[in-house]
Amino acid sequence: MEVVIVPDATAGGELIAEAIAALLSRKPDALLGVATGSTPLPIYQALTAKVRSGAVDASRARICQLDEYVGLPAGHPESYRSVVLREVIEPLGLSEKSFMGPDGTAEDVQAACEAYDKALTEAGGVDLQLLGIGTDGHIGFNEPCSSLASRTRIKTLTEQTRIDNARFFDDDIAQVPRHVITQGIGTILESRHPVLLATGEGKADAVARTVEGPVASVVPASALQLHPHATVVVDEAAASKLKLADYFRATYAAKPQWQGL
């Protein structure tokens, strides 16, 4: 696992956008897994700026969702399909044909989960999967004690996650769905390059347990330690509880430029 400490969220977004740009230059039709929430917005903003300036050609890129609420209508502004269309697809000038995600409105949710997991494989696998991290250490919506071998499936959200997400629903937790479809931890680990961005002091405990703690299902993000090419990008606040922070800074400073992110 590579840990990169950056000054702030803007710097983190720019760094990861550069990595995506490099990927698209090598593989124009790369499949990019995207996350929602406020944390990845600097990535999408930096990547959009590169596309609009002509520095990056994303016209053949493919986009896939990490997760989706169950039961929200497809057109609901806070369905993750709507969020991805609004924050990623439209700004990058892509069409919905380039986009794939699970069906949170399906009558048979389990079948929808299995179909999406299969679709990711048939698409050639995810080349770069963006991830955020919950205050309890979850990635995607793999809540604590999720199986580290789990596949795309339905999950019940913890009360803390619903509280954290209420800000997107007028601060009304009653509006936050209780169930989601999420890529499983095993599914996420099949991506060629998982990249986690964490910012803010509120994520410091989760980051420290993910990076320096044991691999344990109680901290789902710790499973990234098992991946041969996982990157964790954190700002100074999110890195504040890392015991090896100085080592991570020195390692990244000495990294050969040709290696990239």
Q: What is the pLDDT of residues 58-91, one digit of tens each?
A: 999 999 999 999 999 878 999 999 999 999 999 9
Does residue 181 form part of some domain? Answer: yes
Q: Which two tokens stand for residue 103?
A: 């069906």
Q: Of 58-62, 120-124, 155-159, 245-249, which range is least confident?
A: 155-159
Q: Where are the alpha helices (DSSP H) in the chain?
A: 9-26, 41-53, 80-84, 109-122, 159-165, 185-189, 204-212, 245-253
Give me the pLDDT at residue 142, please: 95
Give me the pLDDT at residue 158, please: 85
Does residue 258 form part of some domain? Answer: no
CA–CA distance, 89 with 97 (Å, rounded to integer): 10
Residue 99 belongs to what H/E stretch?
strand 99-100
Give me the pLDDT at residue 152, please: 97
User: Whole-structure pTM over 0.85, yes or no?
Assistant: yes
pLDDT band at residue 25 under the 50/70/90 scheme: very high
Give me the pLDDT at residue 41, please: 97
CA–CA distance, 232 with 111 (Å, rounded to integer): 32
Q: Please write the tens of the pLDDT for every residue from 42-51.
A: 999 999 999 9
Does residue 63 form part of some domain? Answer: yes
Q: Which residue has the tokens 């990234």?
A: 224
* 98 Cβ neighbours under 8 A, 6+ residues apart: 61, 62, 63, 89
- Report whether pLDDT(109) > 80: yes
* 46 Cβ neighbours under 8 A, 6+ residues apart: 10, 13, 14, 16, 17, 18
Does residue 247 form part of some domain? Answer: yes
pLDDT band at residue 160 under the 50/70/90 scheme: confident
Catalytic residue annotation: 67, 136, 138, 143
- Report whether pLDDT(55) > 80: yes
Does residue 261 form part of some domain? Answer: no
Q: How large is the greatest C-alpha to C-alpha distance in the chain, in angstroms?
A: 53
Does residue 50 form part of some domain? Answer: yes
- Report whether pLDDT(259) > 90: no
Domain extent at residue 37 = 1-252
For residue 131, give Cα distances in angstroms to 51, 55, 172, 253: 21, 24, 25, 24
Give me the pLDDT at residue 161, please: 82
- Mean pLDDT across the stretch 120-126? 97
Total domain count, the chain: 1
Give me the pLDDT at residue 75, please: 87
- Residue 121 sits in a domain whose CATH number is 3.40.50.1360
Query: Which one-letter DSSP state was computed for residue 39?
Result: T
CA–CA distance, 231 with 103 (Å, rounded to integer): 29
Nearest Cα neighbor of 183 from 233, 121, 225, 246 is 121
Does residue 259 form part of some domain? Answer: no
Instruction: Give the SS3 label for residue 12.
Output: helix
Does residue 260 form part of some domain? Answer: no
Strands of the 153-156 sheet, one edge to the other: 67-69, 179-182, 153-156
Nearest Cα neighbor of 79 from 90, 68, 63, 87 is 68
